[in-house]
Structure 1
Amino acid sequence: MSRRSWLWSALAVLPLAGCTASAAPAPGSSPVPAPPLKLVAFDSCAQLEKELRAATELSSTAETGSARLAVPDNARAADSAAPAPAYSGTNVHEVGVDEPDIVKTDGRRIVTISGGELRVVDTATRTQTGRLDLGVQAFGEPTLLLAGNRALVLADGGGGPALREDARIIRPSNGRSEVLLVDLSGAPKLISRYRGDGRIVDARQTGSVARVVISSGPTFQLPFRGVPEPENVMQDDKNTIVNTPVDSWLPDWEITTGGRTTKGQLDCEAVSRPDSFSGMTMLRLLSFDLNAAALGAGDPVAVVADGDTVYGTADSLYIANNESWRFNAAATDTNRFAPPDGTNIYRFSLPPIGKPAYVASGTVPGRLLNQYSMSEWDGHLRVATTSWKDDASAVRVLDDRGGKLVEVGSVEGLGKGERIYSVRFIGPRGYVVTFRQTDPLYSLDLSDPAQPRVTGELKISGYSAHLQPVGADRLIGIGQEANAQGVPQGVQVSLFDVSDPAAPKRLDQHVVAGGQSEAESDPHAVLWWPATNLLVMPVADAKTDGALALQVSGDKLRNVTRLASAPVSVSSSAGPMRRAVVVGDVLWSVTSAGLLATNASTLDRIAWVDLK
């Protein structure tokens, strides 16, 4: 048996990690429902060290994942005295809560990031007015947030699992991510750089304050010695963990401002824990004010937990994880493992003044699709999940009762044999799309938290990967058309009428045969401009790689237009169209090479701004 095979086998029969861990159920027995999670702080560094070691011994052999996994905040006003034209913001989940993206605008300027460089375009003169090499070594694509004359750049340095040349097992890497504060008042200038352990999970911004979630793991390296016997591997790993100091679990950071660098490390007293945890991952929530003179340590609030999905409101931040560190032995003779079938959710309160507080946690069966699977409304959290066990989906309503997110109502059995492809909660109503060969769009009544119910269902071919509200009782579905066997055939844009909860219906659709769109996986790529009922999204097919623009007019999708990503003279090097924003009466289509300005009403070309 290889070391990797033994590691998974050993993990499957170990009890859940943590000081209150209990033994896994015997094969064939009924699973014991997981108790509500409870968050408590560690009494001391000694207790933290002891419990981290115990938890890590049980789960150190698991491969930790790094999943990264709208009513837009449009027509906002600029902060300065001179009024800026109306403009579109990033397509976000909650109004007033901004999300990091590769493009931002305040009406006067458009700020973009590509190739590790930040560029500023003046919307009045339609020229590039600034450029800054960020000097980051990020694993993924840097993103930014904007407030006044400041930009906050987030560069994820966490990377993914690293395979040593002399090893036969993948070990999780623990890179260093960066947060940069940039002054935009003149030529872009770097003010401060925060560089710290871990990967950036996500961030949310309210006003000028950004909350950044970072996940890190211990820095020790478990030994590799060929393919020894399983019992020797276990003892090797235990010896390494026992001799590892607590500092190896506590992330550190450095902050550089004006050529001066200061260093810090997470304090034991800032760390809390749920009842059980893997010991391989620690989340920390950092707060940065974009209007501050420089970056600080972010007043970290930490919890020993995994996290892959972030959802935020004006006063709450939720971090969820799909328990990827739990693997239970399947009751079969195939030596396979049943995937984890639960999601832990942690809630932080966001006070107007002071750092966030870790206030509640809970667990729900099944796995989340993305942040749109969660929604806070009228004091309750609605959560949509799909079960690994039977591919059936459910919507559950949770209430915070004494620090525990407790289920108070649920509707189950959605799309049996299918999985969720998109979710949208709008006030007391919810919409869930499941798919395998056809696309049931479920309409739900969530007005009574104790008795959520399905009110209607619409079956059509294909599926919607994102649901975009486009006015009263209208939804746009963005996804793929599919044949009778469920095989995708091309980008599909559907206009739904949801005015009758008992009978949702599709009014119109547009299909780009063989097409694909970034909007299917990233809603930030969708522009909805209600002033002219304009929807714009990137679409690529065999013929062109640009933008699809259309207008919602009554029951129809009209004026459907394909926009090239750039003028013919530069189209070969412009790259795909990534985002679109509206400033005044100009539609800006953004690529890595430049910005195409067109009239927002007629879609006639106005100018091309080359990003140099």
Structure 2
Amino acid sequence: MKKIAIFGLSLLAFAGMLTIPGCGSGETNDPASGLPTFASEEALVTAFTQAQSRGYSGNYYTKGGIVPPGVMAPEAAQAGAANAASDIAYSGTNVQVAGVDEADIVKTDGKYIYVVSGNTIYLAQAYPAQSAQIVGQITISGFTPQELFIDGDRMVVFGATYATGGDPGYPTILPADVKGGISIMPYPVQTGIVSVKLYDIKDRSNPKLLKSVDIEGSYLTARKIGSDVYFVVNSYPVYTQTKPTAADLIPSYRETIGDAKSSDLKPIAGYNQIGYIPPVQAASFLTIASMSIADANKEIGKTVVVGSGENVYASTDSLYVAQTSWPVYSDIGMTVSDNTQSTVITKFTLKGGNAAFAATGKVKGHILNQFAMDEYNGYFRIATTISGYVNNRDTSTNNIYVLDASMKAAGALEDVAPGESIYAVRFMGKRAYMVTFLHVDPLFVIDLSQPASPKILGKLKIPGYSDYLQPYDETHLIGIGKEVDPSIDADLIHTENAVYYTAIQGVKLALFDVTDVANPIEVYKEVIGDRGSESLAAADHKALLFDKESGLLVLPVTVAELKPGQPKNQQGEYVFQGAYVYNLTLNGGFTLKGKISHYDTSDAFQKSGQYFYGGAGEITRSLYIGNVLYTLSQSRLQANDLDTLATLKVLPFVQK
């Protein structure tokens, strides 16, 4: 058991990664990864303690689970079809890349639905709806499930747990003697643990645990390609006022097969197996772990580098981790003019169920989310915003960069829409579609057919903006965002031609036609509610259900409405939360079929006024199996007829 003496310490906040030149790393090339590694334990410790002394304190009282501040999470597909579990058509998670599944709180195989609700995983026999029932559930003390995957008769669950001093393999922190013989007892150390569990669910009523994997750190995201799962973990080490050892800093892990007794946590890698990009950025560890769903006895793959991640993009062959890098003003000679944000992208090759470091690149600006990244024909494309204010004026600019397979610059389109910021972006083959916002919503159509010379083909300026763009087909896009009335409270003080936030109105759905790339048009739009209305689908693409063949579009909406005569610059009162069900066609646009809610008139929601902050009945997901639409909240799974929207079955989540 590791023992560390510690004094009472203060926690300093720092956003970004520190560059530590000349830290004496004594680099050793790792032939497996192509990255230099630390030549000794002392070199690793020196790199991290120098980083801590220069302003980044890491995490004194917890280890692993604290993420430092950052910039805040037809290629898309609904990952679902008929399979062995069901011959009935069904929907899947709305993913960014076809063939790359994304972990989520709900999955279906066409017969069963698997749900994360609270601290329990529910397994429901969902189809046929009339006989639907909860057939199994999993609740583990101290374990909080977050997301899951389904692969045939196996289920992978990602969650969080914690370890404290005294747990097997975790350091015990002892009181430190100070002047006068007085001992100061520190706060108990607690570490965040990413816990991944693989189950055999052939008997849905009695899931069998096949394997557990625990890694110190915080869970970022996961992807599934075939029967291999890749997940990303950020780990932030403990610092003390006495010199730590490499084992104290390196994140620990363990693998446990079945219900065997858990082994002690041990370092996930040796000091000479941890890669870094010179000059070393010694603030945290980034682990790309891989696990076989088919073979529970196969040891997990572990690639560990010095660094961290905020957003992840994955194709079927590569995984990219992006991290915003900010300047460190404690550096001697740094001035305000050096305040240039940049994004560091680390590329990993996915092969044989393992992730290996491939290359790294760097571009100016920060990214919005995973949809700001894309891979196409061997090139990596990324859209960024460089934020800035000068004399109370927004000087932000937007860019698209193209990098080659080695993550070297291949082309760039810079200074797009000065004074505006990216609100949404979608790459589709040889084109990119980018939404920026200031006064109206410019939708830019960008040509990427020549990687060395990206160019703007056309743009559309309309009131409002899109936060999310969903491909409809090769020449049409769905936009989900907000309506804007530019006549309300124009904000000419901070930025010329900008609008004040009170001009932002209800949820806006739009269908764009980009057949004529020089003149994109908004062919249909639908506005839901008044100021204060929101849709989770604008920020979380997994909340959107869209099926082009049937014309089905479903999204969760929280609706606020103004009272008669109430000014439009005021927020309305909440009157509805639930799923809006639309039929969407190129000929008819958005046709509302109906609404589904898990609240009724007796719920406190109806009395919340302007102060609804979510609740157990808030619908967050929807899916279909055959002719049945299922909606999910934390309180229940509900089945409705897809044609009439009549309620067929309600399955409350009741923990046993």
TM-score range, shorter chain: 0.7 to 0.9
1:601 aligns with 2:643: yes
The share of aligned pairs that are identical, in percent, is: 30
1:177 aligns with 2:194: yes
Matches within 5 A, 1:134-533: 134-138=140-144, 142-156=146-160, 174-186=191-203, 187=205, 188-221=207-240, 240=242, 243-256=243-256, 257-263=258-264, 264-266=266-268, 267-293=270-296, 296=299, 298-324=300-326, 326-328=327-329, 341-351=341-351, 353=352, 355-389=354-388, 390-401=395-406, 405-484=407-486, 485-487=499-501, 488-514=504-530, 515-533=533-551
Q: Deviations over 1:187-227 (max 9, x none)?
A: 233333322211011111101111011111112245xxxxx
CA contact (8 A) 1:74 1:529 kept: no
CA contact (8 A) 2:619 2:632 kept: yes
State the alpha-carbon separation in 2 of the partners of residues 8 and 91 from structure 1: 35
DSSP-derived class of the 1:73 partner: strand
- Show the counterpart of 2:592: 560
> 1:548 deviation in Å?
1.1
Paired amino acid for 2:274: V
Distance 1:154 1:607, change over 3 A: same
State the alpha-carbon separation in 2 of the partners of residues 494 and 537 from structure 1: 13
> 5+ unaligned residues in a row in structure 1: which ranges?
22-37, 160-171, 223-239
Q: Deviations over 1:15-62 (max 9, x none)?
A: 8324489xxxxxxxxxxxxxxxx9433344443334333344334347
- Show the counterpart of 1:42: 38
Distance 1:354 1:62, change over 3 A: closer
> 1:305 deviation in Å?
0.8
State the alpha-carbon separation in 2 of the partners of residues 96 and 424 from structure 1: 18
Distance 1:50 1:574, change over 3 A: closer
Report how many residues are paired: 552
CA contact (8 A) 2:340 2:386 kept: no
CA contact (8 A) 1:593 1:611 kept: yes
Aligned with 1:538 (options 540, 551, 556): 556
CA contact (8 A) 2:79 2:99 kept: no
Aligned with 2:92 (options 89, 93, 98): 89
> 5+ unaligned residues in a row in structure 2: which ranges?
1-8, 25-33, 60-66, 164-188, 389-394, 487-498, 560-573, 605-614
DSSP-derived class of the 2:77 partner: coil
Q: Deviations over 1:348-379 (max 9, x none)?
A: 0001x252110100100000101100000000
Q: Deviations over 1:515-567 (max 9, x none)?
A: 11111111110111122111111001211110011122224333214422237
State the alpha-carbon separation in 1 of the partners of residues 232 and 506 from structure 2: 35
State the alpha-carbon separation in 2 of the partners of residues 472 and 600 from structure 1: 27
CA contact (8 A) 2:110 2:625 kept: yes
Paired amino acid for 1:564: I
Distance 1:18 1:183, change over 3 A: farther
1:51 aligns with 2:55: no
State the alpha-carbon separation in 2 of the partners of residues 519 and 157 from structure 1: 28
State the alpha-carbon separation in 1 of the partners of residues 444 and 140 from structure 2: 45
> 1:126 deviation in Å?
1.6
> 1:608 deviation in Å?
2.1
Q: Deviations over 1:417-436 (max 9, x none)?
A: 11111110000010011112
State the alpha-carbon separation in 2 of the partners of residues 323 and 433 from structure 1: 24
DSSP-derived class of the 2:382 partner: strand
State the alpha-carbon separation in 1 of the partners of residues 368 and 587 from structure 2: 30
CA contact (8 A) 1:339 1:388 kept: no
State the alpha-carbon separation in 2 of the partners of residues 422 and 4 from structure 1: 39
> 1:582 deviation in Å?
1.3
Distance 1:569 1:491, change over 3 A: closer
- Show the counterpart of 1:33: none
State the alpha-carbon separation in 1 of the partners of residues 301 and 80 from structure 2: 32
State the alpha-carbon separation in 2 of the partners of residues 608 and 332 from structure 1: 64
CA contact (8 A) 2:123 2:137 kept: yes
> 1:571 deviation in Å?
6.6
Q: Deviations over 1:280-318 (max 9, x none)?
A: 21001111112223574x221011012111110101000
CA contact (8 A) 1:329 1:337 kept: no
Distance 1:359 1:552, change over 3 A: same
State the alpha-carbon separation in 2 of the partners of residues 590 and 538 from structure 1: 10
CA RMSD of superposed structures (Å): 3.2
> 1:176 deviation in Å?
1.7
State the alpha-carbon separation in 1 of the partners of residues 21 and 111 from structure 2: 52
Aligned with 2:117 (options 108, 114, 119): 114
Distance 1:57 1:510, change over 3 A: same
Distance 1:604 1:354, change over 3 A: closer
DSSP-derived class of the 2:295 partner: coil
> 1:338 deviation in Å?
7.0
| TM-score normalised by length of structure 1 | 0.83
State the alpha-carbon separation in 2 of the partners of residues 591 and 18 from structure 1: 50
Distance 1:567 1:429, change over 3 A: same
Distance 1:344 1:556, change over 3 A: same
State the alpha-carbon separation in 1 of the partners of residues 445 and 329 from structure 2: 35
| TM-score normalised by length of structure 2 | 0.78
Distance 1:480 1:569, change over 3 A: closer
State the alpha-carbon separation in 2 of the partners of residues 278 and 44 from structure 1: 17
Aligned with 2:137 (options 116, 128, 131): 131
Distance 1:142 1:15, change over 3 A: closer
Distance 1:192 1:509, change over 3 A: same
> 1:412 deviation in Å?
1.3
State the alpha-carbon separation in 2 of the partners of residues 463 and 277 from structure 1: 40
State the alpha-carbon separation in 2 of the partners of residues 580 and 354 from structure 1: 31
Paired amino acid for 1:142: Q
State the alpha-carbon separation in 1 of the partners of residues 433 and 307 from structure 2: 30
Distance 1:565 1:346, change over 3 A: same
Q: Deviations over 1:445-500 (max 9, x none)?
A: 10110111111111111211100011231111001112212532111111111111
State the alpha-carbon separation in 1 of the partners of residues 330 and 272 from structure 2: 36
State the alpha-carbon separation in 2 of the partners of residues 501 and 450 from structure 1: 20
> 1:66 deviation in Å?
5.4
Distance 1:198 1:331, change over 3 A: closer
State the alpha-carbon separation in 2 of the partners of residues 268 and 370 from structure 1: 32
- Show the counterpart of 2:628: 586
Paired amino acid for 2:210: I
Distance 1:453 1:196, change over 3 A: same
CA contact (8 A) 2:23 2:50 kept: no
